[in-house]
Amino acid sequence: MKLHKSLLLGVFALTLSAPSWAVVTGKFAVTLPEKSHQGQGVAKFVELVKAKSNGEIDIKPYYGGALGDDVKVTAALQGGTVEFTVPQTSTLTGMVKPYEILDFPFLFKNSEQAEKVLDGPTGRKLMELLPQHGLVGLAYWENGFFNATNSKHPIARLEDFKGLKFRSIQARITQETIKALGANPVPLAVPELYTALETRTIDGQGTPNAVIAALKLYEVQKYLSITRHSYGAFIPLVSKKFWDKLTPAQQQIVKDAAVEARSYQRQVAREQSVSAQKMMADRGMQVNEVSDAEYARMRAAVQPVWDMFSADVGVDLVKEVQAQLK
């Protein structure tokens, strides 16, 4: 009888100590390697979510494009087969036209301007357009300023773009920007980029220093020109199908973790930009700056792109961003 009573008490105690929740799991698709600024931001986010939820939310990252490119994975989020990803905002422009404002060439002069627009009312306004497309935006992280690499010659003047076969993402505004600069756009996904440059299928591409280094493009490109012709922002996204299954408290944890990881990720991005440029120069890549005068000429050359896409984005939104930048 005493033994029976002890067993009952033991079972009761185990019941009290057992968690009252089931672990929520999710897959996080990441295009770049784990050591990249994108990858480190995701690792920090995953760590924060797990800590803030006391292990209730467990997210597994898949780095290096293991689950597919940004376009494929974003569609998977909409379908609910993948829970998280962090594409560049350009990936969203096909379904949410106003996001094209962030792809306007030579829009931001520095990171401070970008933060003002992204972390303020404009950034929030853009995020509010996502749920109707099956996506939830959490924050804006930094990819960085885009610089041009190629295998032919340094790009020091506007004319140096002429005739280059230049990699483009699938967004039309990026392709039109490359045309306006005088190069020929060739749409390619990130996983195909290294081989295309190595085989000289294309001559060059434009991405931030940290991405150039992470993808080891310095092995197949001779010249790095600091053109700063575009600014790239990452956006951590959640599948709305997955999001709607979370409790309000869990949703808040995920949001808070993305915002907290933002400062860390941006700092990593800026440090990697500097260290990557030095590393690539040390490995024999020829690096050149673009003068202020030539930067102004390049900026003037792409103004027709601004005019071309202002109607799609919304003239009021363009004016709103320009007013903030002033």
Distance separating alpha carbons of residues 253 and 53, to the nearest angstrom: 7
Q: What is the pLDDT of residue 115?
A: 96
Which single residue is written with the structure tokens 């102004």?
296
The pLDDT of residue 189 is 86
| Mean pLDDT per 10-residue section of the chain, whose length is 326 residues | 48 43 91 93 98 97 94 96 96 92 94 95 97 98 96 98 93 92 94 95 96 93 97 97 98 98 96 96 97 96 95 93 90
**What is the spatial distance between Cα 176 and Cα 162, in angstroms, rounded to a whole number?**
14
Task: Sort residue 54 into left (φ over 0), alpha (ψ -120 to 50) or beta.
Answer: left
Task: State the alpha helices, DSSP H only, in 227-247.
Answer: 240-243
Coil/strand/helix, residue 307: helix
pLDDT of residue 300: 96
As beta bridge partners, residue 150 has: 204, 223
Question: How far apart are alpha carbons 311 and 324 in whole angstroms?
Answer: 19
Cβ neighbors of 307 (< 8 A, separation 6 or more) are none
How far, in Å, CA of 122 to CA of 320, rounded? 8
DSSP letter string, 3-67: HHHHHHHHHHHHHHHS-SSPPEEEEEE-SS-TTSHHHHHHHHHHHHHHHHTTTSEEEEEE-TTTT
- Contact (CB, 8 A) for 32 and 213: no
Q: What pLDDT was estimated at residue 170?
A: 76
> Residue 176's pLDDT is what?
95
Note the pLDDT of residue 191: 85
Q: How many CA atoms lie within 13 A of 68 on its CB side?
A: 13
CA angle 196, 198, 201 (to 5 degrees): 40
Buried b vs exposed e over 274-296: b needs ≥16 C-beta within 10 Å? Answer: eebbeebeeeebebeebeeebbe
C-alpha angle 63/65/71, rounded to 5°?
130
CA distances for 79 relative to 60, 82, 130, 136, 235, angstroms = 18, 8, 14, 13, 18
Q: Please report where in the chains the tokens 């990858």 appear, as a residue.
A: 39
**Residues whose CB is less than 8 angstroms from the CB of residue 286 and which lie 6 or more positions away in sequence, other chains included:** 154, 222, 223, 224
Neighbours of 10 (CB within 10 A): 10
Nearest Cα residue to 65 out of 252, 193, 224, 220: 193
Give the pLDDT confidence score for residue 326 in this predicted structure: 83
The answer to whether the CB of 140 falls within 8 A of the CB of 119 is yes
